Structure 1
Amino acid sequence: MSSGRMALQTTSAPNVSAALSYGDRNGTNGSDCADQDVLEWLYVFQPVYMLLITALGVLLNVFVLMVFCCHKKPCTVAEIYLSNLAAADLLLVSCLPFWAVNVFNDYNWPFGLFLCKVVNMGIKMNTYCSVYFLVLVSIDRYVALVHTMSHGRMRRPKYAKLGCLLMWGFGLLLTAPTLIFREVQHVVEYDVTACILNYPNHGVEVFCDGMLIAFGFVIPISIISFCTIKIIQALKVQAVERFSGEKTEHRATTLILAVLLAFLVCWVPFHVVTTVDVLVRAKVLGGCHLTTALDVCNQLFTYLAFFNSVLNPVLYVIVGKNFRKKVCGLFKQWSARRKATADSTRSNQSSTLKTFM
């Protein structure tokens, strides 16, 4: 799953997934609380959904990267951030087929320890990197619209590329627990050989979950919310004052706001459920009904988070007028190259014929 909770969730067949994921909470076993019909439906639904998201996500995000990277004009600062976001989404959807096969194989992990660690690191990196690329792009829009004159020098492509490189490194650092604690183990009581997070003790587990909530949700969402509020206020002021500004900046801002809204809709429910789940495992909350709700919502909201990786490229086309212009420009560029190649081929053939005549 996009945050590693999928790995905790999907470690056994559906009739015991709740018990294996959450264990005995307040004396109530998760499998006894779980709605087996719903879990069985989710079990059947998971592989098909993940493979569909993979096919669409790979196709759309590769297309976005090709447009940004192959266009003759260099990328703007915002486009550098969005291209890295597309790369993070591509990383996620590239890892999903392994989990689809795992679910289809009754949660017996068939790919070995190395891929158990690497695949889940890739999934976890998407969680951290995608949100921090949105932090960067929110800050960029904030500077562009709120502090246009005072900090304009900061908005340079070389600084944007450096920021993206640092975010990839930061995301890799935050996935260290996945690298350390991911193991392929035979779970005797459920007779599955699963790829699971095997924390040494409960304290380490709570710390890692707290790190996910803090660095994957609370801190970045706070920054994004602050910047978004200031951006909207600046747009309102400019509208009242009939400030023309650069149309390019306004178009880019519209696209960014759409991407931010899509991210919040897709990811906030997941992080809220993750936070509640941490409180349950810390025995702050409890109860059979809550356990049942978490078992189902954890999976459903994770699927919603997956969908964000497909939704972003669609938003680029629908909302991003500049992106559509780049697509048209790229097609014209390719058409000109094909025409030049064809003309060159015909010229060579004509020269060859004249030589033999």
Structure 2
Amino acid sequence: MEPMQLVTLATLWSENSSTSQPFNPSESPDSTEWTMIQTIIPPYVFTLSLLGLLFNSFVLGVFVAHKDRLTIAEIYLSNLALADFILLCGLPFWAMNILNEFNWPYGDALCKIVNSIIIINFYTSIYTLVMISIDRYLALVKTMKARWLRRTRYAKVMCIMLWILGLLLSMPTMVHRKVMFIEEHGVTACILDYTNDSSWKLAHQILMNLAGFVFPVLVIVFSSGNIIKALAQRTESLGFHDTNDTKATVLVYAVTLLFLFCWSPFQVFTLLDILCDVKVLDETEWSHTLDIGGQVSVYLAFLNSTLNPLLYVFSGQYFRKKVSAIYRRTRYQRRGSDMTTYQRSFVSTYINRTEQIKPVVIF
């Protein structure tokens, strides 16, 4: 298959395009660029999925194994880990699709299920980050006024609502994802088919831009800015530098920067695609940039799901205490199970002799 055909299909398979995209063989992109994508992306996706699944499963395992009741922050963190875990489960299908030259071998049902699951967890992950930011805002800025809002029961209900929201926002993918034979490319691909109504594509992209990025970023930036301001005022009023406040400030900065770093390129290319659809930009001039940039940016965005456990959980001292407590408990249980028969016999004999001596002494 020619490089131009593969690049065009790469865009067809992404969430920002449809089968109505033009195909002009006279404008063939550099084959080196496609060779790099075909060589780098599949191993990158497999590595990303493996590490992300290990990190997020470890986080979920710690929360399940620890006996204490989960706090509000831990409820959101476990929901984030679950969403990232499920999202990463679908990425190997994308890698295999590229290796198979965009021939989808898994059937129409998996085409819809895999991609819908990815979009559901895409929205659930982002809005869980929003809820974590809001919870920090309530805890550090509105400490007394919002105490009644910060209850574990409300946090669990909110997590369920986030999954329902993700399900609703993924409806365009569920409806329009299908396996189709593309005659001009000679492949059977899993694509978004907007040929009957191209306005659905525009609505889907605007939804991805606004609901999937602009609104969450505004909330996260607002919460982060107020948290940093409150911590600075607290330091100034107390007259000394609190180490815990410094760690909280750094963590807030890290949360915002990681989110923007991973998702901004994808959303920028989505916006450019929208501008091409509404004829603000010349689609012919931008088609090559959107082909390559769309592929690279979408896989950069998924890096966020792998780094979330490191940023939100492993940097927290309470999580480390939970891991330490589980390790000590496991080690204690292992010691008890490793006790030899001779040791058990010795201890039993010592106890029995002690019980026999006691009546004699008393008498």
TM more than 0.5: yes
Whether 1:233 and 2:229 are equivalent positions in the alignment is yes
List, as ranges, runs of 4+ consecutive aligned residues in structure 1 with deviation greater than 3 Å: 14-25, 27-31, 243-257, 340-343, 345-351
- The CA deviation at 1:244 is 8.8
Q: In structure 2, how many angstroms separate the alpha carbons of the residues matched to 1:12 and 1:349?
A: 72
- The CA deviation at 1:250 is 7.5
Q: Does structure 1 conserve the Cα–Cα contact (< 8 Å) formed by 2:177 and 2:193?
A: yes
Q: 1:282: which partner in 2?
A: 278
Which piece of structure 1 moves more, 321-330 or 304-313? 321-330
Q: In structure 2, how many angstroms separate the alpha carbons of the residues matched to 1:160 and 1:248?
A: 24
- Partner residue of 2:219 out of 217, 223, 246: 223
Q: 2:112: which partner in 1?
A: 117
Q: Does structure 2 conserve the Cα–Cα contact (< 8 Å) formed by 1:251 and 1:321?
A: no
Alpha carbon RMSD of aligned pairs, Å?
3.0
Q: 2:171: which partner in 1?
A: 176
- The CA deviation at 1:246 is 10
- Partner residue of 2:84 out of 72, 77, 89: 89
The one-letter code of the counterpart of 1:156 is R
Whether 1:268 and 2:285 are equivalent positions in the alignment is no
- The CA deviation at 1:319 is 2.8
1:69-148 residue pairs with structure 2 within 5 A? 69-148=64-143
The one-letter code of the counterpart of 1:77 is I
Gaps in structure 2 of 5+ consecutive residues: 350-363
- The CA deviation at 1:255 is 3.8
- Partner residue of 1:45 out of 40, 46, 49: 40
Listed one character per residue, the Cα deviations across residues 170-224 of structure 1 (whole Å, up to 9, x for unaligned) are 1011111111111111111101001111123111111111111121111111111
Cα distance, 1:88–1:31 mapped onto 2, change above 3 Å: farther
1:1-357 residue pairs with structure 2 within 5 A? 13-14=6-7, 17=10, 21=17, 29=24, 32=27, 34-199=29-194, 200-242=196-238, 254-286=250-282, 288-316=284-312, 319-343=315-339, 346=341, 350=345
Q: In structure 2, how many angstroms separate the alpha carbons of the residues matched to 1:47 and 1:305?
A: 15
3-state SS in 2 of match to 1:107: coil
Identity of aligned residues (%): 41
Which has the higher Rg, Structure 1 or Structure 2?
2
Cα distance, 1:244–1:336 mapped onto 2, change above 3 Å: farther
Q: In structure 2, how many angstroms separate the alpha carbons of the residues matched to 1:79 and 1:253?
A: 19
Question: Normalized against structure 1, the TM-score is what?
Answer: 0.86
Which piece of structure 1 moves more, 245-254 or 68-77? 245-254
Cα distance, 1:197–1:15 mapped onto 2, change above 3 Å: closer
Q: In structure 2, how many angstroms separate the alpha carbons of the residues matched to 1:159 and 1:123?
A: 26
- The CA deviation at 1:69 is 2.3
Q: Does structure 2 conserve the Cα–Cα contact (< 8 Å) formed by 1:56 and 1:310?
A: yes
Q: Does structure 2 conserve the Cα–Cα contact (< 8 Å) formed by 1:54 and 1:97?
A: yes
Cα distance, 1:114–1:28 mapped onto 2, change above 3 Å: closer
Q: In structure 1, how many angstroms separate the alpha carbons of the residues matched to 2:205 and 2:105?
A: 27
Q: Does structure 2 conserve the Cα–Cα contact (< 8 Å) formed by 1:33 and 1:288?
A: no
Q: In structure 2, how many angstroms separate the alpha carbons of the residues matched to 1:103 and 1:74?
A: 44
3-state SS in 1 of match to 2:27: helix
The one-letter code of the counterpart of 2:65 is C
Q: In structure 2, how many angstroms separate the alpha carbons of the residues matched to 1:254 and 1:333?
A: 32
Gaps in structure 1 of 5+ consecutive residues: 1-10
Question: Normalized against structure 2, the TM-score is what?
Answer: 0.84
The one-letter code of the counterpart of 1:65 is L
Q: In structure 2, how many angstroms separate the alpha carbons of the residues matched to 1:57 and 1:235?
A: 32
Cα distance, 1:17–1:240 mapped onto 2, change above 3 Å: same
Which piece of structure 1 moves more, 60-69 or 312-321? 312-321
Q: 2:360: which partner in 1?
A: none
Q: In structure 2, how many angstroms separate the alpha carbons of the residues matched to 1:271 and 1:165?
A: 26
Listed one character per residue, the Cα deviations across residues 220-279 of structure 1 (whole Å, up to 9, x for unaligned) are 111111111111111111111128999878756654542332112111121111111111
Q: In structure 2, how many angstroms separate the alpha carbons of the residues matched to 1:42 and 1:97?
A: 15
Listed one character per residue, the Cα deviations across residues 140-194 of structure 1 (whole Å, up to 9, x for unaligned) are 1111111100111111111111111110111011111111111111111101001
Q: In structure 1, how many angstroms separate the alpha carbons of the residues matched to 2:68 and 2:261?
A: 33
- The CA deviation at 1:312 is 1.6
The one-letter code of the counterpart of 2:145 is S
